Structures are given as C-alpha cells and as structure tokens.
C-alpha cells in the first residue's frame, strides 16, 4: 500500500465529519437566514405601510378639502357623504400611523403631532363646511380660522414629509441590511456546499481509488490463485516425473519420459535430448520432441555448445542474451524465439545435454527455465544411477579378467535358450574349452602371465562367436560357449575356427612374447546329447577331457567315437 493512499484513508473520517458539520452549519445558517429575511421583510413591509398611510392620509385630506370646497361652491348634498368618508379615512390613517410607529419613538411623536393637526384641521373644515356656523362667526374670526387651516395644512405637509423622509431612510437602511445579510447568507451557504461537495468528491475519489485497488488486489489474488493452481499442477507433474524416473530401466525410457514431461510442462516447446556414449568424446541425439526443433545436428561435441563448454545453462532470448550455439540451425530465425541449452552433469561427469526452444512470449521464460533446470537436475542423476546399475550388473554377470559372462549368467542363459530352442524345435550346442597345460605355464611364467593368457583367450573367444552366442568363463582356465540354433557340424566348424585363432596368436606380457597357447574343446548338442542344461554341460565337459586325453589342441564332439 502506498504512503499517499494510507494518508488519504486516515483523512477520510475527519473529512466526513467536516462535511457533516459544514452541511449542518449551512442548514442552520439557511434557517436562521430565512427567519432573518422574514423579519427584514416584515420591517420593509412596515416601512412601506407607514409610507402608504402617509400617502393615503394626504390623499384623504385632499379629497376631504375637495369635497368641502365643492359643497360650498355648489351646495350639492352629494358632496357631504363623500366628504365624511374622506374625513373618516383621514382620521383612521392618522391614528393607524400612531400604532405603526410604536417601535420608533421619534416617528411616533411626529405621528401624534400629525394626528392632532389632522383632527384640528378636520374640525376647522367641519365648521367652514357648515353655512350656519360660518354665518355666525365674525368676518375676522372666519378669516383667522381659514388662515389657521391653511397654516395647519402646511404644517401637516411638513410633518408628513419628515415622516416620509425618515421612513424612506429606514426603508433604505433595512433594504441594505437585508441585502447584505442575504448576500452573506448566500456566500456562506455556497461556500459551505462547495467545501462539503469538495470533501464529498475527495471521499468519493478515495473510495474510487480504494475500490480500484480492491479490484486490482482481487484480480491479483485471482491470478495468484491461478498461478498457484498452475504451479501445483507443475509440482504434481514434476513429482510424477520424478517417481516414474526411478522406475526407468533404460536410457531410452529416461529420454522418452523427459521429453514427454517437457512438452507437458512447457507448451509449445521443441528440442532434442543428447546423451554421451561410453568411451566417446561427443554427444549423440537420443530423442526429439515438438514440431520445430532447431537443433539440427545428430551429434554434438563440447565445442559446439556453450552450455557444455561452461558447464551451466545457456539461455538465448531472441538475438539477445549470448552467442548462438553451433548445433542450432543457422537458417532458423531467432526473432521471437527463446532457446535454452542445459548440460546434464552428475558426479562431475557430463552425461548429455537438453536443448529446448519455443516462442518467447509463451515459453522458456524464467519460470519455464527453472522447470527445465529442475527436470535436468533430476534426469542427470537418473542417467548416472542407470549407468552405475548397468556397470554393477555387468560386473555381477561378467568376469573382470576376460570380460566374458560368468558361470552364474551361463546357468540362467543356458536354461532360457534351451527352452526357446525346444519350443521352436531347433538345435543348441554347448562348447567346453580348456587351455592346454595352463598350470605348467602358470608355474613357469607366474600368475600375471597366466592372467594375460586368459585375457587374450577370452578376447579371441568373444571375437570368434556370433552376437547371439553366449561366451562365458566357466572357472579357472575353462570356458563355455552356448551356440543357439547350431547343430553338431556347425558347432564343430565354429569351435575349430576359435581353436585355430588361439593357436596362431601370441601373448605379449611385460615386453616378451608368451606362447604358444592351445585349446582343447568338447561339444555336446541338444537334443541328441542331452535335454537339460546340467546334462549338456556334463557331456561337453566329459568330451573335453576325452579331447585332452587324445592329445590336446583339438575339437571333439560328443557324438564322435574313439
């Protein structure tokens, strides 16, 4: 988790609380402001009403004077009710002004004065309107009252103007105050909502980031689970490969199992598996896999592969990562390809090399390289163990001095071959061979020279038999050869060839030539001379002693009579 994301998460709760406080403050300010605007509107209405009453009272007085003047000039009675109505309205307006200006003492004092003047002015107008009363008054009194009425009207006009100016001033102040408060309220509410909206946007942005991060983590977890499942399958396949590897009996089985495992674990892979041959300084192709192996040579020397030279894997990604090995097809395009050569080394011995190539976007990545390295690490010891088992098996079945099979192998193989020939109704011959005068030779030249003779005889016997024949050292200076499917005549011919090859050979030991060496050979043939391994060996051995008794250095078949 990034430091910025963690810091933003810590600020989330304070931002929520601040947004809540701002919204609550905006709501409170709105309520208070609305109530203040209501009070301001009432004050404005009050000022407008006072101004309206002043204007109405002036209009009512003018109307009363007009009606009174019309009545005096025309004498029409219809003007009197109209005059009375105007007088009543003028009085009501002046008294109403006293009530409305109760909150303003100076204005109320002017209103009381104005009301008193209105009442006196109306009383004078009432007298002037009555002809009888007017006639009863002296002329100078009538003129005085008319003059007083005119002055009073002027005074009322001044009072009305003062009150109008005062209310107009109050109205202006109240309008300014109301507008100022409304502006402050709007600014505060707008700022509160903008800040709250910004905080909400910040929180939504944080939640969006957190949601995106959660989705990314969920995707990563899903991918990790998929990778874990794939890794588990790979581990299972590798474990299965390792288990089956221990059951392989031949190099070919190991190669086939390994190539199949490579194709299964690294889809799209192609390549070759090379194995070293005993006593040879090159590797030979033991198997291919995939559709497009680019390692084209059937044999590879150490100089042909950088992995064999360095004794460690050689990875080539496209045209980067190193030099192309000589065993890779020079015409093969490497763009978009990845190749890996892994030497098979066990116990310090180079046993082979595994070469794998595949498209770089689907194969032989770091994980695939590790898989191939793991397979190679298991394959190399398996090859070494198999080679060791073959060596031990060979040592247990062959005589170390002559490299011929030993007596134990003879007993098993003779029984098997005898059963096979019996089933197929074929002959089988057994030769018993013995070096003439070997004890005397051994006593004369020493045991080392005797061993040299036996080794030479063993090599010549092995060279004189067929691939399917079984040549064994029976014990001491005695040898046995089992020749399946050879009758008596063919066996005598084969034995004679072996006898002559040994007779004309010479043995070199410590710079001197030893010899001559001769053999006596006795032969028994199935089924004429016996039907069991023991009986055939017994008759061949008896025939051998007959050959020795008849002068040695000769071949004698059991069917031959003296």
Which residues carry out catalysis? 477
Reduce the DSSP state of residue 473 to 3 states and report it. Answer: strand
Is the CB of residue 265 less than 8 Å from the CB of residue 237? yes
* N-to-C CA span, the chain: 105
CB neighbours of 267 closer than 8 A, spacing ≥ 6?
A: 362, 363
DSSP 405: B
- Sheet order of strands, 337-346 included: 299-301, 282-289, 270-276, 349-359, 337-346, 314-317
Phi/psi class of residue 446: alpha, beta or left (left: φ > 0; alpha: ψ in -120 to 50)?
A: left
Of the candidates 21, 11, 19, 22, which has an alpha carbon nearest to the alpha carbon of residue 200? 19
Is the CB of residue 403 less than 8 Å from the CB of residue 395? no
**How far is the CA of 11 from the CAs of 6, 18, 291, in angstroms?**
9, 10, 60
- What are φ and ψ of residue 231, in 5° steps? -65, -40
How far is the C-alpha of 543 from the C-alpha of 549, rounded, in Å? 10
Pairing of strands 478-484, 507-509: unpaired
Of the candidates 528, 467, 460, 529, which has an alpha carbon nearest to the alpha carbon of residue 495? 460
How far is the C-alpha of 353 from the C-alpha of 307, rounded, in Å? 8
CB neighbours of 437 closer than 8 A, spacing ≥ 6?
A: 552
Pairing of strands 478-484, 470-475: antiparallel
- What are φ and ψ of residue 277, in 5° steps? -95, 145
């Amino acid at each position: 988790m990034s430091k910025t994301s963690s810091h933003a998460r810590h600020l989330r709760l304070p931002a929520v609380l601040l947004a809540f406080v701002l919204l609550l403050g905006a709501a409170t300010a709105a309520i208070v402001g609305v109530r203040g605007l209501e009070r301001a509107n009432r004050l404005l209405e009050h000022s407008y009403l006072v101004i309206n009453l002043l204007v109405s009272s002036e209009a009512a007085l003018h109307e009363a004077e007009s009606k009174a003047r019309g009545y005096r000039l025309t004498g029409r009675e219809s003007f009197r009710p109209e005059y009375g109505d105007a007088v009543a309205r003028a009085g009501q307006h002046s008294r109403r002004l006293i009530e409305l200006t109760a909150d303003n003492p100076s204005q109320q004092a002017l209103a009381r004065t104005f009301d008193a003047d209105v009442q006196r002015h109306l009383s004078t107008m009432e007298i002037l309107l009555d002809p009888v009363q007017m006639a009863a008054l002296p002329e100078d009194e009538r003129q005085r009252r008319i003059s007083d009425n005119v002055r009073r009207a002027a005074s009322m006009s001044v009072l009305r103007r003062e009150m109008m100016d005062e209310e107009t001033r109050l109205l202006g102040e109240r309008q300014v105050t109301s507008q100022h408060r409304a502006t402050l309220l709007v600014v505060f509410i707008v700022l509160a909502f903008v800040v709250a909206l910004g905080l909400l946007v910040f929180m939504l942005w944080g939640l969006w980031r957190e949601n995106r991060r959660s989705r990314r983590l969920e995707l990563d977890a899903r991918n990790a689970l998929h990778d874990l499942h794939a890794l588990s399958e790979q581990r299972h396949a590798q474990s299965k490969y390792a288990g089956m590897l221990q059951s392989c009996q031949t190099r070919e089985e190991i190669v086939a199992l390994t190539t199949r495992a490579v194709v299964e674990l690294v889809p799209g892979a192609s390549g070759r598996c090379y194995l070293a041959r005993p006593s040879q300084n090159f590797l030979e192709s033991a198997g291919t896999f995939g559709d497009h192996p680019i390692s084209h040579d059937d044999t590879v020397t150490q100089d042909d592969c950088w992995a064999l030279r360095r004794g460690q894997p050689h990875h080539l990604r496209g045209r980067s990562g190193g030099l192309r090995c000589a065993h890779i097809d020079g015409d093969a395009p490497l763009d978009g390809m990845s190749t890996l050569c892994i030497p098979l080394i066990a116990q310090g011995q180079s046993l082979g090399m595994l070469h794998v190539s595949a498209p770089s976007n689907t194969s032989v990545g770091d994980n695939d390289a590790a898989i191939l390295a793991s397979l190679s690490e298991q394959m190399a010891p398996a090859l070494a163990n198999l080679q060791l088992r073959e060596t031990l098996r060979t040592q247990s079945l062959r005589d170390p001095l002559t490299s011929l099979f030993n007596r134990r192998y003879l007993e098993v193989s003779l029984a098997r071959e005898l059963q096979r020939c019996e089933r197929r109704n074929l002959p089988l011959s057994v030769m018993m061979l013995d070096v003439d005068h070997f004890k005397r030779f051994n006593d004369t030249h020493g045991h080392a020279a005797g061993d040299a003779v036996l080794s030479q005889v063993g090599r010549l016997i092995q060279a004189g038999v067929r691939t399917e024949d079984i040549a064994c050292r029976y014990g001491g200076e005695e040898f046995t050869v089992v020749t399946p499917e050879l009758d008596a005549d063919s066996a005598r011919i084969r034995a004679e060839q072996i006898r002559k090859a040994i007779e004309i050979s010479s043995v070199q030991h410590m710079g001197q030539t030893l010899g001559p060496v001769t053999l006596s050979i006795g032969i028994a043939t199935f089924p004429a001379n016996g039907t069991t391994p023991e009986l055939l060996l017994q008759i061949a051995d008896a025939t051998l002693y007959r050959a020795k008794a008849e002068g040695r250095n000769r071949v004698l078949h059991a069917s031959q009579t003296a």
